[in-house]
A and B are shown apart, each in its own frame.
Chain A
Amino acid sequence: MFPKPIEKQSRAAQISYQAMLPLALLLWLGPLLAVALFSVKPAADFTNANYWGLPSSFEGAFNYGQVFFNSDMPRYLLNSFLITIPTVIGAVALSCMTGFALGIYKFKSNLWIFFMFVAGNFVPFQILMVPVRDLTLQLGLYNTKTGLVLFHIAFQTGFCTLFMRNFIRALPFELIEAARVEGISEWRIFWYVVLPLMKPAIAALSVLIFTFIWNDYFWAVVLTQGAESQPVTAGITSFNAQFRAAYQLMSAGSIVAALPPVAMFFLMQKHFIAGLTLGAVK
């Protein structure tokens, strides 16, 4: 293990390490903790310039209540879920198939198609912006959740295919050969042999895509406009305009908007990190 395990060092080193950990964490999350502190303060603290002292009264329940019952925030949150969940299902489903095709079969254009998915996944959003917006307008899907979902599924298929294909490549190929010898059709091989083995990859991709799509801002701004279809990342700017200078409410709103992916991360930590670090180890 590198660096040298702290247990093997002097007592003083151990104690100072243990003391440094919480300090470093406090420093690292400082800006975020500040927002958390803001979100439980009463409005009066801001008018009295009591920014950093203890809250003069604990108004967490009131502030978060305002966010949930007195603003469009629940609407935005619901939109975010209605955009994120279908995208996760769609992109994962499509990429299970593309990953299977590119991971199992040998044909001439295999590597080129694979590279096309990878390259497409890296292009700057701006080069897609005008044509995609135009296409969405023509389909009559501008300012709808469906329009946003369709684009997200298509774009995420690039990354998901990269992920799935590499995962399937690492499966034992003998399994498929054995199934073919048995005369099982290709579709059944996919459904009954390969798909059950892909569960960890599906779990990892689902949490990753959930986070990516939940946190998307650019496409939300380009393809949607009002509270009826905007996800929370885009909605929060309108929210902040509504509660301008009410820092306690803007802070509470930000925390609410950030929470679902955070919860997802803590619940599915193992899968999340396995997904993010795929390829980081040989």
Chain B
Amino acid sequence: MSAVDTPEQESWFHRNQQRIAPWLFLAPGLLFFMVYVIIPVFQSFNLSLYEWDGLGSAEYVGFRNYEDLYWEWVDRDAFFVSLKNNLIWLILYLAAIPAGLFIALFLNQTVWGIRLYKSLFFFPFVISQVVVGLVFTWFYDPTFGLLNEFLGVFGIEPLNVLGDERFVTYGIIFAGLWPQTAYCMILYLTGLNAVDPEQIEAGRLDGAKGARMLWHIILPQLRPATFIAFVVTIIGALRSFDLISIMTQGGPFGSSRVLAYYMFEVALSEYGFRMGYGAAIAVILFLIMLCFIAYFLWSMYREERGH
């Protein structure tokens, strides 16, 4: 504000300071966010109506990209497989929430050293998904993986989880659940810490315990934690890319693709630079995500109104 020199300007500025100040504070962040996030969303929408290899000039094709996607859907082709896998991811990834709650309940004690245990249980979330992917690729390895060593104890033939179309998506989701469960666990541990002890006592006097206590007294108080766990798990499921790229690159025979990975493949890999087609896939993924974003924003809006 010291840049304002002349007295007339200064007085005008002073009079309107509270109206102008927020915009000056917003300007840099808003500019960055507009240029790199908001505008590109609209550009992608526009681009999905073109055919473009990323270098030459783009050719307007109307809704043909979407038509092609529709036929891929009808023919049970790559787009169908990706969409189906996205749905599997969405549903199975939610298992991180009860799993996280379970571990949080297990660790919510005050024995000696428990803090270190909590940190170590949280560990997988801090590691990059790339490393998680490598760790689990070796875990599933048919010749020396821990999984098959373990199955071998029960006399089960070695499974090639990542090489088998039937198992591959489930195998990757299981790897993804590892860090995601850790995240949900930490949310619930924080939530459990803040549960009102008087209500628990009141519940105990009424003879509630175990599962009934959990359901009727504890879970309602954990609602904010559950909401956040739900948000981050849904977002995480739809963003799944790193693990697929590291563990299988969409294979075998494209059976572990999801929309996020298929889009990348179409637009930026050896299959050619079909930017417009990729943008169309991204738009579909965006619209799916938009349903959830709208729900999240609606929840937040009601909350804001409540205040």
Binds A, one of B69-77, B87-95, B281-289: B281-289
Question: B106 near A: Cβ within 8 Å?
Answer: yes
Which B residues between 181 and 224 are near A, CB-CB below 8 angstroms? 183, 186-187, 190-195, 197, 200, 209, 213-214, 217-218, 224
Inter-chain contact B296/A127, CB cutoff 8 Å? no
Interface size on B, residues (CB 8 A): 102
The distance in angstroms between the C-alpha atoms of A127 and B105, with both chains bound, is: 38
Which B residues between 135 and 160 are near A, CB-CB below 8 angstroms? 135-136, 138-139, 144, 146, 149
Question: B123 near A: Cβ within 8 Å?
Answer: yes
* Chain B 24-54 interface mask (CB, 8 Å, partner A; 1/0): 0110111011011111110110010000001
Question: B119 near A: Cβ within 8 Å?
Answer: yes
Inter-chain contact B36/A132, CB cutoff 8 Å? yes
CB distance from A153 to the nearest CB of B (A): 6
CB distance from A157 to the nearest CB of B (A): 5
8 Å CB contact of A18 from B111, B124, B245, B281: B111
Question: A140 near B: Cβ within 8 Å?
Answer: no
The distance in angstroms between the C-alpha atoms of A115 and B294, with both chains bound, is: 10
Inter-chain contact B187/A277, CB cutoff 8 Å? yes
Question: A227 near B: Cβ within 8 Å?
Answer: no
The distance in angstroms between the C-alpha atoms of A117 and B37, with both chains bound, is: 9
Question: B108 near A: Cβ within 8 Å?
Answer: yes
Inter-chain contact B239/A124, CB cutoff 8 Å? yes
| A217 with B200, Cβ < 8 A, contacts A128-B44, A135-B35 known | no
Inter-chain contact A247/B192, CB cutoff 8 Å? no
Which B residues between 230 and 286 are near A, CB-CB below 8 angstroms? 235, 238-239, 241-242, 245-246, 259-260, 263-264, 267-268, 275, 278-279, 281-283, 285-286
Q: Which residues of B are found within 8 Å of A69, using beta-carbon distances?
A: none
Which B residues lie at the A interface, using CB under 8 A? 1, 17-19, 21-23, 25-26, 28-30, 32-33, 35-41, 43-44, 47, 54, 105-106, 108-111, 114, 117, 119-124, 126-131, 134-136, 138-139, 144, 146, 149, 178, 183, 186-187, 190-195, 197, 200, 209, 213-214, 217-218, 224-225, 228, 235, 238-239, 241-242, 245-246, 259-260, 263-264, 267-268, 275, 278-279, 281-283, 285-286, 289, 292-293, 296-297, 300-301, 304
Inter-chain contact B37/A154, CB cutoff 8 Å? yes
Question: A243 near B: Cβ within 8 Å?
Answer: no
Q: Which residues of A are found within 8 Å of B264, using beta-carbon distances?
A: 126, 129, 218, 222
The distance in angstroms between the C-alpha atoms of A105 and B192, with both chains bound, is: 34
Inter-chain contact B285/A161, CB cutoff 8 Å? no
8 Å CB contact of A282 from B32, B192, B213, B224: B224
Which A residues between 212 and 251 are near B, CB-CB below 8 angstroms? 214-215, 217-218, 221-222, 233, 236-237, 240, 247, 250-251
| A32 with B135, Cβ < 8 A, contacts A158-B33, A217-B129, A277-B190 known | yes
* Chain A 55-66 interface mask (CB, 8 Å, partner B; 1/0): 000000000000
For B188, the closest partner residue in chain A by CB is A280
8 Å CB contact of B134 from A254, A262, A276, A279: A254
The distance in angstroms between the C-alpha atoms of A190 and B24, with both chains bound, is: 12
